[in-house]
Structure 1
Amino acid sequence: MSPVDRRPANATLILLASLYCAQGLPSGLLAHSLPVLLRQHGVDLALIGLLKLLALPWLLKALWAPWIDRMASRRLGHHRGWILPLQLTVIGILAGLALLGPQWLFGSGLWLLLGLLLLINLAAATQDIATDGLTVRLLPERWRGLGNSLQVGGYKIGMLVSGSGLLLFVDQLGWALSLGLVAGLLVLMTLPIARFDERRRLPFQPALAEPAGPGLLLRHYRGLLLQPGMGLWLAVLLAFKLGDALGSPMIKPMLVDQAWSNAALGQLTLLSSLAGIGGALLGGLLYARLGALRALLLGGLLQAIGIAAMALLVGQGAQVGLVYGVSLFEQIADGLSTVALFAAMMRQCRAEHEGADFTLQASVQLLLAGLVGASSGWLAQQLGFAGLFTWAGLLGLLALPLVLLYFRRYGRQPARVN
């Protein structure tokens, strides 16, 4: 095995796992814990719905991603110079929230809370750009699947800790101690990047970088879009997750209609999330062994089968074993296919353009999937749950010919710097 294909050192894997887990910690708080706590304190549902708007920085981050690639700290290093201050910002905000009582925060201080949560999302989304760029540079092609296993798995673990974990212990430990523990865990997750000597291992290469002046946004993404076969690759990105985006939002409503309780759904969600982490790890290993093309084809096929199999559960909610079997398989397939797709996206990133190139691809992948997902409820009313899941599976299969066509034409061509 050549040195470039050698498995990354354990210290590198720990570094990446810690960074992605750090992103999941505040995300779990926002997505899972706070909606429950706010409602328990009598906050209006319309205001709770505003939490979704706080995720806007994640959707808009492609607008400032090129500057993250261009502007480097001479003292801290390029990506490390962004990650450390941003992660410390999130820690500081969480520590401040822990010191403020929930009675005041969820009452007269609610708008301050929402503003601070928006800052957390802005910092975390920007840190994600730098982290993705660092990941692409640290990992050779063969092991990028493993890197994305750490991304998906670490993020989900972080979300479980601050989502399910916080809800489990907040009544016993109280708001201040529970949130303080989340901030403390984030401090631990910061230690690997604090010890990482990026300036020595990954020196910034200004000759490959564009000047951070007017027009950078257009110049940066124009260079990516002019890569050979990029139009066909964007079609792959748009299509690969459409079936999953169409079917997955209706899984829990289908089970609710079959009298599944909140507790039962919570247990299913927890075990499914763990299965998804396992699928992500499996996806990384398969990517290293099979390569990008076969990993994408296998992941896409299993993903389509998994979402179509949800049609078997319609009217079978009392068959708990069947529900768990299909749900766990679907989550394993989702984790595996996501890792394969993200690793393949890293192949398209140019040197010193890694963060923004990956960010734009991720934004494209989410755009159409989000619109399709928004229509899933209406389509479920028109087609029924069984029809929706069947069509979602067929839609997932339609992406596979695009994958095959792209790799036959352009799969061996590395990204160039324009």
Structure 2
Amino acid sequence: MDAGRGRTVPLFATLGMLYFAQGLPAGLLGKSMPALARDAGLSPEWIGLLALPALPWALKFIWAPWVDRWGSGRANHRKRWILACLSGVVAVLAVAAMLSQAWLFGAGFAVLIVMLFLLNLFSATQDIATDGLAARLLTPSLRGLGNSVQVSGYKVGMILGSGALLILVGQWGWQATLFTIIAMLLVVAVTAWRFDEPREPARRRRPVTAKWWLRQLALFWRRPGLGVWLVILLGYKVGDGFGTRMIKPFLVDRHWTLAEIGSLDLITSLVGLAGAGLAGLIMLRLSRRVALFGFAGLQALSFIGWWWVAAGPVTVPVQWIWAVALFEQLADGLSTVALFVLMMDYCRSGHEGSDYTVQASVQLFAVGVFTLLSGFSVAWLGYASHFLLAAILSAAVIMAAFFWQPPVVAHGAPRGEP
């Protein structure tokens, strides 16, 4: 590792905290909002469109090269970006805490959308810097465990931003809950500030221009095997995003209370956390191919379970719903780590933030499109057929296993153009 083996534990701890900070707003947008919105009376179509404020996550590849370049060659280059973005997230949450929850989900819904957009813009930019830091400092042998730390930290943040938030809002109120989240983010900021990011090797770099940006994008995708990998990125998690968006509205329509949904989400997210940790250990011995596509199969199987629950009677035993939800989150933790490890393997040296981000943007764009359509799918097909379609989408990507060859990664990522 560039920073030396003695820096592995501090690096893992810092990455875990940073991804935790990104999981908080993601949990708020992706998990709490659908339940809160449905409880407030919004239709499934509008709930699906709540994914629009997440647009910066799909478009972040546009400004990722500037994050890689501006300030590079100086100590703590990416750390400065991270601290600036954390400050932006804290500011948005502080404003949200000053506004009434009832107003935001009613007359102030447009303001809520803008605030969620800003929250995602800051978080997505922080993600560019954090991913660049991780891809640069994690050697190939450490990427399985490193991505377990990444996904685990992210999932802990999502737990607090989703299930725990639903519970806390009911007990403490909107304002107290958001100020608690702000306090947690300030702890993360202190942790990031204390981390001594190693200086990047000095390189002669060309100016960042639109022409240079397009050239780098072309150089990345022209490498052998990237065509099949693009298909995998486009299809790997679309079934997951398409299906999970409507799980909480389904439970609301099955007359679950927000507190019951929050409790389910909290426990199942802990299982997803365990799945992410388990994936890192499994990938120390399992081949990239078997892990990537085997875990995708488990994800598809989980939505077969949701189809079975939704197609059954309203009085289906609660324990069956819990079993399906637990399995779905386990599969999600396993498959997410496998995907992220491969995304790091494809990064070029000196372009870690940009290369990882462009892959993430492709993947998130595809997921976002299907997530936007999820509410219309439920309105047209019903919950059972919707979950069955999610299972089919999750399984379809396995066909790419017959055409894909994993990238060859020895002691580091391939060199990129300056």
TM-score, scaled to structure 2:
0.83
**2:232–2:397 Cα contact (<8 Å) kept:** yes
Task: Tell me how far apart the structure 2 counterparts of residues 401 and 33 of structure 1 sit (CA, whole Å).
Answer: 34
Which residue identity does 1:141 align to in structure 2?
Answer: P
Change (3 A) 1:91 1:391: closer
Task: Tell me how far apart the structure 2 counterparts of residues 224 and 359 of structure 1 sit (CA, whole Å).
Answer: 12
Which residue identity does 1:203 align to in structure 2?
Answer: E
- 390-399 or 334-343: bigger deviation: 390-399
Q: CA deviation at 1:144?
A: 1.6
The equivalent of 2:312 in structure 1 is 315
The correspondence of residues 53-132 of structure 1 with structure 2, limited to 5 A, is 53-72=52-71, 76-95=75-94, 97-98=96-97, 100=98, 102=100, 106=104, 115-132=114-131
The correspondence of residues 78-227 of structure 1 with structure 2, limited to 5 A, is 78-95=77-94, 97-98=96-97, 100=98, 102=100, 106=104, 115-170=114-169, 173=172, 175-198=174-197, 201-207=198-204, 209-227=205-223
The correspondence of residues 226-375 of structure 1 with structure 2, limited to 5 A, is 226-252=222-248, 254-255=250-251, 258-313=254-309, 314-315=311-312, 317-375=315-373
What are the superposed Cα offsets for residues 87-118 of structure 1, whole Å, 9 maximum, x if unpaired?
123234434554x3538985998877665554
What are the superposed Cα offsets for residues 180-237 of structure 1, whole Å, 9 maximum, x if unpaired?
3222111111122211222xx2424424x44213423202211111112111111121
**2:25–2:161 Cα contact (<8 Å) kept:** yes
Which residue identity does 2:240 align to in structure 1?
Answer: D
- 367-376 or 128-137: bigger deviation: 367-376
**Secondary structure of the structure 1 residue equivalent to 2:185:** helix
Q: CA deviation at 1:149?
A: 2.2
Q: CA deviation at 1:388?
A: 4.9
**1:105–1:112 Cα contact (<8 Å) kept:** no
Q: CA deviation at 1:274?
A: 1.8
Task: Tell me how far apart the structure 2 counterparts of residues 105 and 377 of structure 1 sit (CA, whole Å).
Answer: 24
Which portions of structure 1, spanning 4 or more consecutive aligned residues, are displaced by more than 6 angstroms? 2-8, 34-50, 107-113, 381-384
Q: CA deviation at 1:30?
A: 4.5
Change (3 A) 1:76 1:283: same
Change (3 A) 1:136 1:173: same
- 382-391 or 117-126: bigger deviation: 382-391
Task: Tell me how far apart the structure 1 counterparts of residues 89 and 257 of structure 2 sit (CA, whole Å).
Answer: 35
Matched-pair identity in %: 42
Which residue identity does 1:360 align to in structure 2?
Answer: V
Q: CA deviation at 1:271?
A: 2.0
Task: Tell me how far apart the structure 1 counterparts of residues 295 and 54 of structure 2 sit (CA, whole Å).
Answer: 28
Change (3 A) 1:87 1:373: closer
Task: Tell me how far apart the structure 2 counterparts of residues 389 and 42 of structure 1 sit (CA, whole Å).
Answer: 22
Q: CA deviation at 1:119?
A: 3.1
Task: Tell me how far apart the structure 1 counterparts of residues 140 and 132 of structure 2 sit (CA, whole Å).
Answer: 14
What are the superposed Cα offsets for residues 125-171 of structure 1, whole Å, 9 maximum, x if unpaired?
11111111111111111222222222222222223324444443446
Which residue identity does 1:340 align to in structure 2?
Answer: A
Task: Tell me how far apart the structure 1 counterparts of residues 191 and 321 of structure 2 sit (CA, whole Å).
Answer: 40
Matched residues, number: 412
Task: Tell me how far apart the structure 2 counterparts of residues 61 and 172 of structure 1 sit (CA, whole Å).
Answer: 36
What are the superposed Cα offsets for residues 305-333 of structure 1, whole Å, 9 maximum, x if unpaired?
22223333221552222222122112101
Task: Tell me how far apart the structure 2 counterparts of residues 42 and 250 of structure 1 sit (CA, whole Å).
Answer: 15
Q: CA deviation at 1:256?
A: 5.2
Which residue identity does 1:269 align to in structure 2?
Answer: D
Task: Tell me how far apart the structure 2 counterparts of residues 174 and 389 of structure 1 sit (CA, whole Å).
Answer: 33
Task: Tell me how far apart the structure 2 counterparts of residues 185 and 21 of structure 1 sit (CA, whole Å).
Answer: 10
Task: Tell me how far apart the structure 2 counterparts of residues 188 and 33 of structure 1 sit (CA, whole Å).
Answer: 23
Q: CA deviation at 1:390?
A: 4.5
Task: Tell me how far apart the structure 2 counterparts of residues 44 and 319 of structure 1 sit (CA, whole Å).
Answer: 26
Q: CA deviation at 1:19?
A: 0.3
Which residue identity does 2:312 align to in structure 1?
Answer: G
Change (3 A) 1:78 1:47: same
Larger relative contact order, structure 1 or 2 (CA cutoff 8 Å, min sep 6): 2
Change (3 A) 1:39 1:323: closer
Q: Give ranges in structure 1 of 5+ residues lacking alignment.
A: none
Change (3 A) 1:96 1:393: closer
**Secondary structure of the structure 2 residue equivalent to 1:289:** coil
Q: Give ranges in structure 2 of 5+ residues lacking alignment.
A: none
**2:51–2:372 Cα contact (<8 Å) kept:** no
Task: Tell me how far apart the structure 1 counterparts of residues 48 and 249 of structure 2 sit (CA, whole Å).
Answer: 18
Task: Tell me how far apart the structure 1 counterparts of residues 41 and 383 of structure 2 sit (CA, whole Å).
Answer: 33
**1:22–1:189 Cα contact (<8 Å) kept:** yes
Which residue identity does 1:273 align to in structure 2?
Answer: S
Which residue identity does 2:344 align to in structure 1?
Answer: M
Task: Tell me how far apart the structure 2 counterparts of residues 380 and 166 of structure 1 sit (CA, whole Å).
Answer: 26
Q: CA deviation at 1:340?
A: 0.3
**2:88–2:122 Cα contact (<8 Å) kept:** yes
Task: Tell me how far apart the structure 1 counterparts of residues 219 and 287 of structure 2 sit (CA, whole Å).
Answer: 26
Change (3 A) 1:244 1:165: closer
